[in-house]
Structure formats: structure tokens, C-alpha cells
Structure 1
């Protein structure tokens, strides 16, 4: 095995580790965004508005370039947080004193 081949294998392993770390970190970011949205939004609907306001936009023309795909992953993390906040709000018991 040449030095160049060994270097390429190391780089590929680093890349695979990076992909795995990104997958694991995505769940942590969802939890963080839920926390921040409820703190900043004060209500469940406010939290959802905060998440939608801060969710990055996609470019008008999507060509699936790596940077656009990463932006889409970030948007998916926001979407997951929105769904969880919505479900948490909908699952709350009704206050019969209202």
C-alpha cells in the first residue's frame, strides 16, 4: 500500500466518521432548537413561529450542490423541531377552568 493510498483511506475514514457524527448531532440540535423556541416564543404557537422565522431559506434554484444539500439538512432539523413543538402543544391536557 502506497503512502497516497493510505492517506486516501484515512481521509475516507475521517469522512465516514464526520457523516456519523452529523447524524448523531442532528438529534441534539433538534432538542436545542425546541428549548430555544419555547424560551423565545413564550407559547407553543410562538415557538413554532420562532422556528419558522429562523429556518434557513433554500435558494430559488436547487441544483443539489453539497452546500444546498447541507442547507436542506439544516431545514430538516428545524422541521423536526417544529413537529415536536406542535405535538407537545397538541398533547397538553385541556384546562377546564378556562
Structure 2
């Protein structure tokens, strides 16, 4: 029997827009290793907005991304979450530090 893998579950508030161009289509979630002035991306995932096919009134409140513990190094990481609209235009990223 396969042993369950340890996971890092990252939940973040969904970005909200008022029209189709400002509404997020998906998110880029990036785990970064930060040391001084150097920022090194370690792993990047793209997560669809869970309610992208529904009207704005039914938008999801939170979005979740799961990383397997084996995907990431054990040192201090920072997670960057960037919303993208359907044309690939990026919004402002959110950052979360993990010790």
C-alpha cells in the first residue's frame, strides 16, 4: 500500500473583477526561495479560477493550491500568487512567507 504524501495546502482569497477583462481566469502560484536580494523560483503551478464559468455573483471566495512536500525544498520559501485574466494580463501578486 502506498504511503500518503505530505502536502502543503495554500489557500488564498480570490481576486474579483467587475467585467470579463478584469476578472481572473487563472492564477500563477509560484514557490520562491529568497536569500537576500536573490529570488529563485522553485516550482510554479497554474490554477484555474474555480468559478470562471459562472457569473460574477457566484464567484468563489477562496482558491486552493496543493504542493507535494517532495516538490519543494525544506528551506524558507515565499509563495507568490498572481491573478491572470483570459488574455494573460497579470494583476498584482500576493505574497506569503513560509518559515
The structure whose residues are more often helix, as a share, is 1
Which structure has the larger Rg? 1
TM-score bracket for the superposition, by shorter chain length: under 0.3
TM-score, length of structure 1 as denominator length: 0.25
More strand by share: 2
Length-normalised TM-score, structure 2 = 0.25
Greater relative contact order (Cα < 8 A, sep 6+): 2
